[in-house]
Amino acid sequence: MHTTIVEVGPRDGLQNEARVLPADVKIELIERSVAAGITRIEAVGFAHPARVPRLADAEQVMAGVPRPGGVSYIGLVLNRRGLDRALAAAVDEVNAVVVATDTFCVRNQGVTTDAAMDAFEGIAGAAADAGVRCGITIAAAFGCPFEGETPPARVAGLARRAHAAGAREIALADTIGVGVPGQVRDLTRRVRAAAPGVPLRFHFHNTRNTGYANALAAVAEGVTVLDAGTGGFGGCPFAPAATGNIATEDLLYALHREGVTTGVDPEAVAATGAWLGGHLGKPAPALLGRAGTFPPPPDRR
């Protein structure tokens, strides 16, 4: 089995850090990710610069990234203005975010969930007209810091609307890291029923040390695309006590030891995680780089 890693470190990994990294460092992070074998990268976010200042240089970053064949750069968008900027910057894909609960959605993007879905429908149509692949992330799909448990039926309903709007991919995000494997299994089956034929992707944070178990549960359900962030940095600026993404290098360790192929070099990613920690002024939360030599996967023949 093969799993595609979507590297979200350049966007989600940096948007909530104390240090603002210059564009050339972000570009080098992307270059290192490409060299390690990662082929889908969430390179930038087109949020309002006043709300998320660490992503204000999105156009400059996109102007400097390498453009090898087979590598796809994703731009995060929240509204039509963000889409227009993303298209002008020549991203390969756009990914829109809709938060599953109203309170969090208002804090994150200034509108209710229903209004954000209305905006997504317009974004998906305009992206299709431009010939650019458009996916959606349903954030806080497992739980909300303001409203508590997110009803699974609500997530399925949003997925149904996304499917009708033409979403090319649906990502379910455990934005605050409250999910467990049973929820992964349940949401996978509900969303597949609500949006038949649409590829499913998961985005996990490791707030309560369940992120990697959740990722493996998704793989066991046949999910073949997972988000992760080099070094394990990140978090949402609008979620209290938000912690980092599952670390790309640690996820690679788990997947490879399970016999899942990714095409990505975990030691190269671990070296990049340590390098990124130096720029951020703190050690990477990821453990692989500190655990010694990366052992080969076991022979399961």
Alpha carbon 20 to its chain centroid, in Å, reads 20
The C-alpha R_g of the chain, in whole angstroms, comes to 18
Q: Is 66 exposed, middle or buried (0-12, 13-18, 19+ CB in 10 A)?
A: exposed
**Residue 208: is its pLDDT beyond 70?**
yes
What distance in Å separates the CA atoms of residue 77 and residue 179, rounded to the nearest whole number?
A: 25
Catalytic residue set: 236
**Residue 292: is its pLDDT beyond 80?**
no
In one letter, which amino acid is 244? G
Instruction: List the Cα angle 183/186/189 in 5-degree steps.
Output: 145
Supply the pLDDT for residue 297.
78
Q: Is 118 exposed, middle or buried (0-12, 13-18, 19+ CB in 10 A)?
A: middle
**Residue 90: is its pLDDT beyond 90?**
yes
DSSP assigned state of 229: B
pLDDT band at 288 (very low <50, low <70, confident <90, very high): confident
What distance in Å separates the CA atoms of residue 215 and residue 235, rounded to the nearest whole number?
A: 17
In one letter, which amino acid is 266? P
The residue among 208, 5, 190, 28 whose CA lies nearest residue 100 is 190
- Contact indicator for 132, 173 with CB cutoff of 8 Å: no
Alpha carbon 283 to its chain centroid, in Å, reads 21
**Residue 100, φ and ψ in degrees, nearest 5:** -75, -15
**Residue 301: is its pLDDT beyond 70?**
no
Supply the pLDDT for residue 296.
74
Whole-model pTM: value is 0.96
Tally of residues, the chain: 301
Supply the pLDDT for residue 293.
65
With a CB cutoff of 8 Å and minimum separation 6, the contacts of 129 are none
What distance in Å separates the CA atoms of residue 264 and residue 257, rounded to the nearest whole number?
A: 13
Q: Which pLDDT tens digit goes with each residue over 45-84?
A: 999 888 889 999 999 999 999 999 999 999 999 999 999 9
Q: Which pLDDT tens digit goes with each residue over 185-206?
A: 999 999 999 999 999 999 999 9
**Residue 52, φ and ψ in degrees, nearest 5:** -130, 75
